[in-house]
Amino acid sequence: MKRINFISILTAFIASLFMGISVSAEVCDYDYDMAKSRWTQGGGYSFVTYTRLDGERKDKHAINPEWITKDTEIHLEYETEGDYEGCPVNLIFQTWTGELVTSKEDKEVSIIPSKFDEKSAVYTYKDFTADWGIDFSTLYSISCADKGTNKLQIVTMTITNLDIPDDEIADLKGGILLKDGKELDISKYEKVEETVKEDKDVKAETTVETTVKEKDSEKEIEVTKKSNEDKGTEVEEEESSVNVVPIIIVFVLVIGGIVLAIVMVKKKQSSWH
C-alpha cells in the first residue's frame, strides 16, 4: 500500500492558492510603430524609443523593460548602405541619472546579436544580460544606430514574449500587440467608464427633471398669484360698490333736509304776512 505524501499535497495546495491570487497577465509581442525611423548618414541614430521607466517623459505608451522574460528577443529588420564590420546595426541600451529616475549611474551598452545578416538581426535574453546584467529597472532607452561608416534605416522592431499585466495592456498605443502571431484585441482590456457615464446621464436627467418641476412650480405660483390678484380686484370692486351706497343715502338725506328747511322758512314768512 502506497503512503500518502501529505507534504507534497500541502505544497501543491498552497501553490494553487498563490496562482489563484496572482495578477493576470498576457505574454505578448510588441511591434513598434516605425513612423519616426529615418535614414542615417553615418554616425547617427535611425530609431530611438524611451521606456516607461524614464521619468522625464512619463510615456505610458512605451513598454516597461521589467516585462522582459528569459524568452524575450528583439527582432530587427533594416536597410543599409556602405561598408561595415559585423552587424550593420548598433543596438544600444542606456540609463542615466536625474531627479525623476532611480538610476545612480550613467551607462551605455552595445548589445551583440546572436544572429544577423545584411537585412535582419535577432537579440536574445542572453545577449541582453551579457553586458547589461539581469536588472532592467533602470533601462530608460533602446536605440538603433549605424556603425559610423554605413547608412541605415530600421524597418521593423519587435520585442517578443513580454509578460504584460492585463490592466496595462490598453496603455500600449503607438504600436501593435501580437498574441500567437495575431494582433491582440486590446478593447477588452480597456477600462470601462460606462458606469460613470450612466451616473452622469442619470444626474443630468435628474437635473432636467428638477428644473422642469421647478419651472412648473413657478408657473403654478404665477397662476396662483395672478388668480389672487384677480380676486383682489373683484373684492376691491365689490367693496367700492358697497361703499358708494351709504354716501348716496347721506347725500339724499342732506338735500332733503335742506329742501325741507327752505319750505318751512317760506311757510313762516307767508304766515307773518
Whichever domain contains 37, its CATH number is 2.60.120.1070
Same domain, 36 and 157: yes
Rounded distance between C-alpha atoms, residue 243 and residue 238, angstroms: 9
- Same domain (yes/no): 126, 223: no
**Any domain includes 4:** no
Tell me, yes or no, whether 198 and 158 share the same domain: no
Segment 136-153, tens digit of pLDDT: 999 999 999 999 999 999
In 3D space, the residue among 163, 208, 177 whose CA is nearest the CA of residue 68 turns out to be 163
d(CA 53, CA 62): 9
Query: Backbone phi, then psi, for 271, in 5-degree steps?
Result: -75, -30
Residues 196 and 178 in one domain: no
Residue 209 confidence (pLDDT) = 57
pLDDT digit string (tens) for 33-90? 999 999 999 999 999 999 999 988 877 889 999 999 999 999 999 999 999 999 999 9
178 and 133 within one domain = yes
For residue 148, the surrounding DSSP H or E stretch is none
Beta carbons of 124 and 12 less than 8 angstroms apart = no
Both 94 and 159 in one domain: the answer is yes
Distance of alpha carbon 187 from alpha carbon 109, whole angstroms? 37
SS3 of residue 221 by DSSP: helix
Most confident segment among 9-13, 141-145, 225-229, 234-238: 141-145
221/172 same-domain check: no
pLDDT at 264: 72
Alpha-carbon gap, residue 125 to 73, rounded angstroms? 6
From the list 233, 215, 212, 234, the residue with the least C-alpha distance to 223 is 215
Tell me if 70 is assigned to some domain.
Answer: yes
Q: Which secondary structure element, helix H or strand E, spans residue 270, and what is its range?
A: helix 194-272
Is residue 5 domain-resident?
Answer: no
* Proportion of the chain above pLDDT 70, given as a percent: 67
pLDDT of 56 reads 83
Rounded distance, CA 22 to CA 15, Å? 11
Instruction: Answer yes or no: is 166 within a domain.
Output: yes
pLDDT band at 5 (very low <50, low <70, confident <90, very high): low
Instruction: Look at the chain and report how many structural domains it folds into.
Output: 2
Residue 250: inside a domain: no
Terminal-to-terminal C-alpha distance of the chain? 170
Examine residue 257 and state whether it is found in any structural domain, yes or no. Answer: no
Nearest to 85 by CA among 116, 109, 40, 107: 116
Of 68-72, 202-206, 265-269, the poorest mean pLDDT is in: 202-206
pLDDT over 90, % of the chain? 53
* Burial category of 163 from C-beta neighbours within 10 Å (exposed 0-12, middle 13-18, buried 19 and up): middle
Query: What local confidence, expressed as pLDDT, does residue 262 receive?
Result: 74
The C-alpha angle 189, 193, 194, rounded to 5 degrees, equals: 110
The answer as to whether 268 is a domain residue is no
Do 185 and 198 belong together in one domain?
no
- In this predicted structure, what is the pLDDT of residue 2? 45
Do 184 and 198 lie in one domain? The reply is: no
Q: For residues 147-173, give the mean pLDDT.
A: 95
d(CA 256, CA 262): 10
Q: Are residues 170 and 38 in the same domain?
A: yes
The confidence score (pLDDT) of residue 253 equals: 77
Mind listing the pLDDT tens digit for each residue in 77-129? 999 999 999 999 999 999 999 999 999 999 999 999 999 999 999 999 999 99
Q: What mean pLDDT is reported for the chain?
A: 80
pLDDT attached to residue 204: 54
Cα separation, 63 vs 90, whole angstroms = 20
Instruction: Return the C-alpha cell found at 85.
Output: 564590420
- pTM for this entry: 0.63
pLDDT value, residue 208: 53
From 174, 189, 204, the end of a domain falls on 189
My answer on whether 29 and 127 are in the same domain is yes
Domain interval for residue 185 = 22-189
> Within a 13 Å sphere around the CA of 24, how many CA atoms are in the beta-carbon half?
5
Last residue of a domain, one of 165, 189, 213: 189
Looking at per-residue confidence, does 240 or 129 come out higher? 129
- Quick one: pLDDT at residue 108? 97
Q: What is the pLDDT of residues 174-193, one digit of tens each?
A: 899 999 999 999 888 887 65
Block residue for cell numbers 470601462: 192
Residues 157 and 210 in one domain: no
Residue at 74 is within a domain: yes
In whole angstroms, what is the distance from residue 46 CA to residue 91 CA?
Answer: 10
- Is residue 28 within 8 A of residue 162, CB to CB? The reply is yes
* pLDDT at site 161: 98
Which carries the bigger pLDDT value, residue 3 or residue 61?
61
